[in-house]
Amino acid sequence: MRNLEKRVGKVVVKIHMGDITELEVDAIANAANSDLWMGSGVAGAIKRRGGQDIEREAMSLGPIKPGEAVLTSGGALPARYVIHCAGMAPGGKATFQKVSSSVRNALAIASDHDLVSVAFPAIGACVGGLSERESARALATEVVHYSRSPRSVKEITLVGLNKYTCNCFSQAFDDVQE
């Protein structure tokens, strides 16, 4: 599997296997902690590719509560913005509810800024303590909910580094839409 595309209401949902930092979209989401410092995983990859200024800008907006999200510039990334989705507190564990809430808040922020395309990784998965399946289910639930009354965001890309994560995204959409 390399790319898959599904229509959910008026929103096109793409599933992409690869590096989220390479995508040319309006915004990419960061799987953040609530203090907004960027260590390893997706956050580390964003900081390495986009530059330290992204982390400095994010930290100036925090801390935030798990489940919240904030917007920063995209630095040197192809994406114009980064939406930092706090799925957990530092040293804590992500939950379905916190990930769902952070995705819901991210889509509201994107719409408030008239963004059209947003990409999300498996927020809260692995290092965050949530399984890829649970993360995918949280993302799918919020994307389907958003698609019922979409605002500016018309294209949402879910990004996995491997086939398993991408399959989890695909299965989650099938399950949520039943």
Using alpha carbons only, what angle is made at residue 25 by residues 151 and 3, rounded to the nearest 5 degrees? 100
Q: What is the C-alpha R_g of the chain?
A: 14
pLDDT exceeds 50 at position 22: yes
What pLDDT digit, counting tens, does each position of 68-113 carry?
A: 999 999 999 999 999 999 999 998 999 999 999 999 999 999 999 9
Number of domains in the chain: 1
Using alpha carbons only, what angle is made at residue 37 by residues 32 and 39, rounded to the nearest 5 degrees? 80
Residue 1: pLDDT band by 50, 70, 90 thresholds?
A: very low
How much of the chain exceeds pLDDT 90, in percent? Answer: 87
* Tokens read off for 15: 């599933």
Q: Where are the alpha helices (DSSP H) in 34-149?
A: 41-50, 52-60, 96-112, 132-148
Strand (E) or helix (H) holding 174: helix 163-177
- CATH number where 152 lies: 3.40.220.10
> Which of 140, 150, 132 is closest to 178 using CA atoms?
140
Structural domain span for residue 145: 3-177
Which pLDDT belongs to residue 2? Answer: 53
